[in-house]
Structure 1
């Protein structure tokens, strides 16, 4: 019986996107002398087969979600037998060394799903990340559909997890910690994510309860693995928003392999559709590479490098924002003078040496350096009118402000410069005690040198009167007595900081797999220690130490139903980074303590089949009890800390995700999250934290036309209830608990695969491509008016503050061309 899938969205009939139910194993096969072996016969138990080329390389597609035995055989060498069980779309590198005298028969099943389930890790297919695009493409575009992850700004790659903020997330690439610029205050300025999706092999994400081997943050870990290529290839992607190109190669002897990518991004298409009109030039570019040289089968050397340049020039002209109700519509009309010039240059390089002492012991050394030079300059005069809007249909001035309730101006100025240099030196190791037990350890030194000049002021004029800050000490008794105090800016921050932070970190953890009756049991216990010293010019040196124990336990009962239960938790610390040391006036407070969180996670994974297709339901309940909390305010993507540890907080919630093949051959999921997080500042009572995202619904759905399987579609849906909208400068957050409107967004993509690697083509021009597709995308398909912050304007009559939403991107259309050679 023929199958018909369709989705009707506002009268639009679309069908589209899929993955075949396969996984890929690739690698290079060497002999005892580290020389490649050609013509090795490779055969899978399911019938697939291939041979190695003259450089010893191979690539084999096998069915996913099945246990597949693969045999490697060659005349003059002993055969190698290995079992694999990979998930749909997964790519795994396997590089056996074939011996002459010793029989090699391995009976261990390589099943990454088991490890991820035990660790509480969500794995995302690299192909899915490359395929499913968004207004800000990359790994983060997929993360926003996961439960517990909040991204309410499509122009930003920053995300908050289970009540944490943007600074509470760890990002690793091949075990190397990566950083992002410091000064960026708006998603418009942010540009590209560090992670280049064209280079990615594996993506793992943990939303909490992670192991001791990961660093000292309170919320999440994004663990990226870049791939070692096995042949020559080029991948390119072009769209109206920019493009990327990536190339990979391997030397003839197989010792050297490298992959590199260049990306360019211009967000003018998106930003020119915002409410604020003007001349905008957002240009972002980066170049990245990952190189490997195999000196021998025991010693490998890797290099990760990245150069990034973000330039954001903006000359605003005018803006009109309509808000209020149908009965009482209100509008803010603003005229601008001046401009903004921001620039962020970052340079990152890391060397990683791997020494495989034997099959059980691996020693690693990682050295990295990160340098960022940032400037944020602007002088913008905004003159505004706030008033009632003409709603009489047919009038020439329909929609214009016809009666002003507020008139004033605002001058904002900044000359912010930052130069930061961070170096790391780390030794890591792991030792396999037996087939079921592993010990891992690390010792790491970090030196941070930050030079920061912060000059910002804001002058507000309302109806001809200069507005002073609320905490101004000199009373104004006009008109009865003349005011003789100085004219003061509403906000004035000036600071010059030269800060050094030296850190020593270490961890040790033990992992074991065993049996308890007929049930499989997995557990991990570990501990981290973090010692740091803050010093610098005109700063009194301060030293602190924290110890963080962590543990995980999982059991897979011998039941007819495929279930796994997991509990994880521990004591998590976040020693302050530079931005957490700097208070709201720009002054560095070296005595700021590490924020502390007791974290417990209870999880269940239930795997089952519907319609003879695999599905999985993942459920996690969590609780965080936080102390020594460093309160902050959130302005778009800029965080301003109070740097005084005078609060305590909590967060608890429930995350659920159902993923599987809702359409045969594709992977889709639906997620739900409930979160409540509050803080008590200086024992004044609990109020919502800036990231109090109560409800979250997300969906990633893929489909295709049954009779045209190469015409594919993806639909990316997100619904979040509104978070607290912040407060005016100097205001008491206890007096401003108004929430932003709910965040609703739908991104749609349709693509047609002209060339697919699973099919052969006779056309000469198609033979040049391994993959070729064209498509179009609709961002914010329903044109929802989402907001990220509020602009606060004073009514001259009632003296009240209006919270005027700053709207995010409207509906945008994009075209895309992708190819692989």
Structure 2
């Protein structure tokens, strides 16, 4: 009954408020021109800072869009020009005019480096407005989950905020807040334990995703970089607060006198309802929370200090009871797998982060940044679960209805899983970055030193009860890993980069050097990017470079055989995987239709790969340089405004990524058999080989009442490869056969599809000092079509005559869920 009260109450609020709010809109209009020529600038961006209202200029530089009454800060920008800022007062039912004259940034190409911003036209770069992300219908208000609709990004698990970029694994992405690197937890297995991403969208002024060709200041990963910048707390106090049936949060910011500003944010998520709809029934108790804060202090006219702090506490507890999965082709090929569970699973992690950023302005054309930070994680994973699984063949009853199916038991297994694992991670980092401008050059240089330590305790075991080939029932230990290991090392890096404009061409060459003490390896990463402006509406982009990913905890741990050490490769004899990448792109703005088209094609060549398998979202590595690979594909995106101030887009990606294993040095039969199962030296699909990916985000007003906004978010991805089991006739434990992996990535999971829908009512509650106090009331329907997506397969063994065969049982994700959210901006 309580679940029904939420939508009823929200509907009443909407109905009562509709006639009051329909007249609070005004209009902002004007023209953007070139200061030297007086010509209109097409495609310039006119944006209300701190909000999602805005538009792009037409062919003659004119623009107009509707906006609520109030006082608004406006920013007008275009590539190659200095930004224009002003403040306007918009009155109800009236048109306010603001004309902007932009001056060309001659000799100031270094703005890209000096301000730490990426050019919007740079290849593989997506600028993300966190205020747009918060409007997306998602299970939790999470900025990192909002990246999944961007160019080159794929994802197939709504429980997780992890994603793959252009064929890379979930571990090949870097994350930064204000230039400080942050890290995802290490031991999550299905995404359920992840909770909230560490980037808080309510504190963020902008996010930049580099999907290829990222600058030399970023190093250590192969696929992508997500860089978030937190807004400077200044001016009068302001903030936002929200609550929904799944999560809640608060953010506030403002100035502390003339020289300081502070911002903080709190978040909490208790999404029991979201998990409870899964096929695995049980007592779910997720509890995710974090707190973040920013303190800015202007030390002098040339020096400023920023302190950033973060603490996250995530707990996930599950007492599974039963699970029943029915699958197959009706009516004659239907099967049911039913499992009964006893026991409990408890997982969690605590993350602490603290960083200091000192910014020094060294004259008019030079600037320096120095950072020092510490990042710690303390994770644990415990479970003691016994499961009895039964496989039934479903057969239609002779005298029953077509939907009336008998259960015929075909097999049964008993399995016990035990674990008491923990890992502590501590990473200290110091960094210096230096920027300067000289004529048409914008240069950057930097260094970084990092000390890292992992203390890992692993104690896990799996036993199962089955029959020997002779029919005798026996309980054996199928998997047992025990290790108590400390890993400590250090890394140093240095880089230099120069951005130079030659007419319409912008070239940015750079080189990065990294030294990793663990394997005594020095790597060099030369990179080059280029932007050529054919016209104000069209640009050609390109980038090429070499990227290295130094192996740390995940890659070194490996996947040990029963009875062997979990860290038997900690001898330093392992190289950093390398990716040689090239990407080209086209950006074109259709001024008549106010649409922007992006098209990019890329190719990557991988060497010294450490192969991996994906178990749900946990990446399990081989801990050896055993393969090479490649990725090639193309991404297309069309962005525009169906209604003024509300951007929508559709993205399509085509991807091919394959790997080839090196011939092993060992010649024993088991090693050679494993090599043959991995393709025997032929090219086979990598675990992230998702051929087709489609994402859509649409924003629109309800006809006749623009206080209502509709949001649609759709994700589709074709199936990714997975590996079925195979019986090893020559291996056994206590006369029970051991079943190893079969032919690698020879089958595929089903396609992934989600359609999420949200409707938001904007209500003006009051007017405080010229700024509106607004309530946003939202109803979200997640997975509207109740699509039964599968994130993985589990395998059930059964007999068919004298043969053993395996049945793939899908591990399914969340069903349709209703969520109601209220947000107040003040």
TM-score > 0.5 by shorter chain? yes
Q: Secondary structure at the match of 1:271?
A: helix
- Say which of 136, 139, 147 aligns to 1:135: 139
CA contact (8 A) 1:769 1:819 kept: no
Counterparts in 2 of 1:468-617, with a 5 A limit?
Answer: 478=470, 488-515=476-503, 520-534=504-518, 542-558=519-535, 562-585=537-560, 586-589=566-569, 590-611=572-593, 614-617=594-597
The answer for the alignment partner of 2:244 in structure 1 is 239
1:630 aligned counterpart, secondary structure:
strand
Q: Are the counterparts in 2 of residues 69 and 82 from structure 1 also a CA contact under 8 Å?
A: yes
> Alignment partner of 2:555: what SS?
helix
| Equivalent residue number for residue 703 of structure 1 | 700
1:755 pairs with 2:755 = no
Of the three residues 637, 646, 657, the one matched with 1:666 is 646
- Render the CA deviation track for 1:290-327: whole Å, top value 9, x for unaligned: 11100112111011111001101100000000111113
* CA distance in 1: counterparts of 2:522 and 2:584, whole angstroms: 29
TM-score, length-scaled by structure 2: 0.81
Contact map agreement 1:630 1:641 (CA 8 A) in 2: yes
Q: CA deviation at 1:137?
A: 3.4
Aligned-pair CA distance for 1:600: 0.4
Aligned Cα RMSD in Å? 3.3
Structure 1 position 131, deviation (Å): 1.8
Given that 1:260 and 1:287 are in contact with CA atoms closer than 8 Å, whether structure 2 keeps it comes out as yes
Following superposition, the deviation at residue 138 of structure 1 comes to 2.3
Among candidates 117, 121, 126, match of residue 130 of structure 2: 126
Contact 2:245 2:271 in 1 (8 A): no
2:283: which partner in 1?
279
Change (3 A) 1:767 1:406: farther
Select which of 778, 795, 799 maps to 1:796: 799
**Offset of 1:252 from its aligned partner?**
2.4
Q: State the partner residue of 1:36.
A: none
Between the aligned partners of 1:584 and 1:496, the Cα distance in structure 2 is 15
Q: Is this contact kept in 2: 1:136–1:155, CA < 8 A? A: no
Aligned partners of 1:697 and 1:718 also within 8 Å = yes
CA distance in 1, matches of 2:211, 2:86: 38
1:162-189 alpha-carbon deviations (Å, 9 max, x no partner): 1111110011111111112111112111
Superposition pairs for residues 319-334 of structure 1, below 5 Å?
A: 319-326=323-330, 327-334=332-339
User: Measured at CA, do residues 381 and 442 of structure 1 come closer, stay the same or move farther in structure 2, by a change above 3 Å?
Assistant: same
* Cα distance in 1 between the residues matched to 2:86 and 2:162: 45
Unaligned 5+ runs, structure 2? 1-17, 19-24, 29-45, 51-61, 66-70, 88-98, 561-565, 664-679, 726-737
How far 1:356 moved relative to its partner?
A: 0.8
Mark the CA change 1:573 to 1:195 in structure 2 (over 3 Å): closer, same or farther.
same
For residue 662 of structure 1, give the secondary structure of its aligned residue in structure 2: strand
Find runs of 4+ consecutive structure 1 residues off by over 6 angstroms.
18-21, 45-48, 63-68, 104-114, 396-401
Q: Is the 8 A contact 1:457 1:493 kept in 2?
A: yes
Give the aligned partner of residue 40 of structure 1.
none
Alpha-carbon spacing, 1:82–1:390, altered in 2? closer, same or farther (3 Å): same
Displacement, 1:143? Answer: 1.9
How many angstroms does 1:397 deviate by? 13
Task: Tell me by how many angstroms 1:796 deviates.
Answer: 3.3
Report the alpha carbon displacement of residue 140 of structure 1 after superposing the two structures with TM.
3.0
Q: Is the 8 A contact 1:126 1:200 kept in 2?
A: yes
Alignment partners' CA distance in 2, 1:412 and 1:512: 59
Equivalent of 1:734, from 735, 740, 743? 743
More moved, 311-320 vs 205-214? 205-214
Conserved? CA contact 2:390–2:409, under 8 Å: yes
The offset of 1:209, in angstroms, is 1.3
CA pair 493-105 structure 1, distance change in 2 beyond 3 A: closer
Sort the Cα spacing of 1:114 and 1:581 in 2 relative to 1 into closer, same or farther, 3 A: closer
**Residues 109 and 499 of structure 2 are in contact (CA less than 8 Å); yes or no, is this contact kept in structure 1?**
no
Quote the residue 1:808 is aligned against: 813
What is residue 58 of structure 2 aligned with on the other side?
none
Question: 1:426 Cα shift?
Answer: 0.9
**Residue 642 of structure 1: SS of its match in structure 2?**
strand
State the shift of 1:731 in Å. 2.8
2:198 to 188, 194, 201: 194
TM-superposed CA distance for 1:562, in Å, is: 2.1
The change in CA–CA distance for 1:119 and 1:363 in structure 2 (over 3 A counts) is farther
Q: Distance in 1 between matches of 2:639 and 2:534?
A: 22
- 1:340–1:380: 8 Å Cα contact kept in structure 2? yes
Offset, 1:636: 1.1
Normalised by the length of structure 1, the TM-score is 0.82
Decide whether aligned partners of structure 1 residues 292 and 114 sit closer, same or farther in structure 2, where only a CA change above 3 A counts. closer
Question: 1:640 pairs with 620, 623, 626, which one?
Answer: 620
In 2, Cα distance between equivalents of 1:707 and 1:109: 47
Which of 243, 250, 255 pairs up with 2:255? 250
Rounded to whole Å, the distance in 1 between the matches of 2:497 and 2:152 is 27
Give the deviation of 1:120 after TM superposition.
Answer: 3.6
> What is the match of residue 73 of structure 2?
60
Aligned to 2:56: none
Is the CA contact 1:423–1:446 (under 8 Å) kept in the aligned structure 2? yes
| Distance in structure 1 (CA, Å) of the matches to 2:110 and 2:435 | 20
Alignment of 1:229 with 2:233, yes or no, is yes
> Which of 776, 780, 805 is residue 777 of structure 1 equivalent to?
780
- TM-aligned CA deviation for residue 447 of structure 1: 0.6
How many pairs does the alignment contain? 716
* Separation in 1, partners of 2:85, 2:202: 28
Aligned to 2:311: 307
Give the equivalent residue in structure 2 for 1:404: 409
Per mean C-alpha deviation after superposition, the further-off stretch among 581-590 and 502-511 is 581-590
Which one is further off, 115-124 or 210-219? 115-124
Change in Cα spacing, 1:688 to 1:401, as seen in structure 2 (3 Å) is: farther
Offset of residue 755 of structure 1: 1.8
The 1:339/1:69 distance shift into structure 2, 3 A limit, reads closer
Q: Which moved more, 1:171-180 or 1:392-401?
A: 392-401
Which segment is superposed worse, 144-153 or 160-169? Answer: 144-153
Shift in CA distance, 117/735, structure 1 to aligned 2, threshold 3 Å: closer
1:84 and 1:123 mapped to 2: Cα distance? 21
**What is the distance in 2 between the residues matched to 1:114 and 1:295?**
27
Partners in 1 of 2:746 and 2:26 — Cα distance? 45
